[in-house]
A = this chain, B = another copy of it.
Amino acid sequence: MSEAGSGRPTTIVLDCMGSDHGPLEAVTAAAQLSIARPDFHLLLVGDDAQLSPMLDELEYDPGRLSIRHTDQWVAMDESPRGVFDRKPEASILVACKIVSDGRADAVVTAGNTGGAILAAALGLGRIPGVRRAALAAVTPTEQTHGPNQDPFSLLLDVGATLSASARDLVTFAIMGSAYASAISSNPAPSVALLSNGTEAHKGPAEVVQAHRILAGLSEVNFAGNVEGLDIPRGSVDVVVTNGFMGNVVLKMLEGIGEVISDLAQDAYARKFLWRFGLTMLSSGLRQIQRALDWEEYGGAPILGFAQPIIKAHGRSRAKAIANACKVAAKASRSDMIRVIERAVARIPDEDGEEEARTRDP
């Protein structure tokens, strides 16, 4: 871990392989950052036969950018099950191992999500006390959040842990709080459990139990339960749920964005006034689209591992990957991992927790 302003740059390992648009986006991002950010070092992992010719066409600072060759990687549509037995030198696993060996500070990838989670578990290792990882994503909100007035809140888990026990949900609350604090400079983000009612007794057993634990945990600015309508409103900074629910919620928001976009195109074809109406509304729609736009926010952190790892969207262009690198560096320079480790150690061992765990598939 390095500090901003100190001598040593922050080294970001960039997995260049397996994304939708090929390695050029990651290579371009790295080349630009090597010039623009003297506090960064970029270590590209991937097929040198592809990366070097791309680099030759770009302007970059060779003192701040290097390549670690491998000819194996996880394809976007490949099942992560057993993939690292078949491909022990897969780029994402190599990237994680470079960080855990202490030769770099954080990982960024735009490749296969399941592969990234598995590589982090194998290569980075979990923060002591964390049993399950969580993938966090931003969702657009009406209310703004934190000192930067961000028009979005953080939702986790969105797909790493389908069924979460009470202890997992408490851990996700701690991790979401620490990440939001590190990235958005909000010293005490408000954190809530997603449930079917605001009262403490509402929800499945694991949510009720997590509520009770969080109410007694001073490390989290716990706001109680929120309901579905609080997600678009943005009543809190961090919303905690299991990966099954979070996945459905996130994809619903994507779907609503698509429907708005379809309505606009449909209107264009059929009715000028509709189109005109959408143009009038465009500043509001732009705000919503910006919040949903991975290009602007640089990807989703995979939380629970001993070093930061950021999953950029598979469709990411160079700008999005560069933003993901900046977010990864910010997380690495913060005390996020130590904050999580300390808070997780304070989760009480409750009766019934083991029973709840055995209910997970």
* Contacts from A to B (Cβ < 8 Å): 142, 159, 162-163, 194-196, 203-205, 227-233, 241, 243-245, 247-256, 258-259, 262-263, 267, 273-274, 276-284, 359, 361
Contacts and interface: CB of A to CB of B under 8 A. Distances in A.
Contact of A244 (B196, B247, B256, B274): B196
Given A196-B248, A243-B196, A277-B277, A204 B254 contact: no
A318 B252 CA distance: 33
A16 B283 CA distance: 47
A315 to B, nearest CB: 15
A262 B162 contact: no
Nearest to A196: B247
Contact of A279 (B227, B231, B262, B277): B277
A248 B194 contact: yes
A273 B279 CA distance: 10
B229 A361 contact: no
Contacts of A251: 227-229
A280 B273 contact: yes
Nearest to A227: B251
Contacts of A252: 228-229, 231-232, 249, 252
Contacts of A247: 196, 227-228
A249 B194 CA distance: 11
A203 B228 CA distance: 20
A359 to B, nearest CB: 5
Nearest to A250: B228
A205 B254 contact: no
A159, A194, A227, A284 interface centre (most CB from chain B within 10 Å): A284
B254 A229 contact: yes
A196 B135 CA distance: 14
B255 A196 contact: no
Given A244-B204, A255-B231, A277 B280 contact: yes
Contacts of A163: 204
A255 B277 contact: no
Nearest to A228: B251
Contacts of A142: 259, 262-263
18 contacts: A142-B263, A194-B248, A196-B244, A196-B247, A203-B244, A204-B361, A228-B248, A228-B250, A228-B252, A232-B255, A232-B256, A244-B245, A248-B249, A249-B252, A274-B281, A274-B284, A280-B280, A281-B281
